[in-house]
Amino acid sequence: QVQLVESGGGLVQPGGSLRLSCAVSRVILSYYAIGWFRQAPGKEREGVSCISSVDGTTYADSVKGRFTISRDNAKNTVYLQMNSLKPEDTAVYYCAISLRGGCPKSRHEYVYWGRGTQVTVSS
């Protein structure tokens, strides 16, 4: 079974940075798209970013210019660099894999999910 494990979350002050990692096992990462999602208390899970098998990227409007997604296929890991963090970025962040090369249009097309890592932006 494909496994995804997120790490790198924590408490950071507004304006600070964090880098999240998503380690993927039991699949050749280079073939597939990986998405990052987040869910704040009382809100629905929302898409943050996606990177395709050919390194095409998408971002939610709320994070454009502040977040950068990247992948290291040799390490089977995808990263989310988060800069200029705001309190409204506070959420549990999840990564998920789509068993296709392109970024899906719906989160329901992602097949496997990690358990999430908490990001809290607060002074």
In order along its 123 residues, the chain shows pLDDT tens digits of 899 999 999 999 999 999 999 999 999 889 999 999 999 999 999 999 999 999 999 999 999 999 999 999 999 999 999 999 999 999 999 999 998 999 999 999 999 999 999 999 999
What are the Cα distances from residue 7, in Å, to 78, 80, 87, 106, 117?
Answer: 11, 10, 19, 24, 6
Q: What is the pLDDT of residue 99?
A: 87
Check: CB of residue 13 under 8 Å from CB of residue 83: no
33 contacts 50 by C-beta, under 8 angstroms:
yes
DSSP label at residue 47:
E
pLDDT at 67: 98
C-alpha span between 98 and 78 (Å, rounded): 13
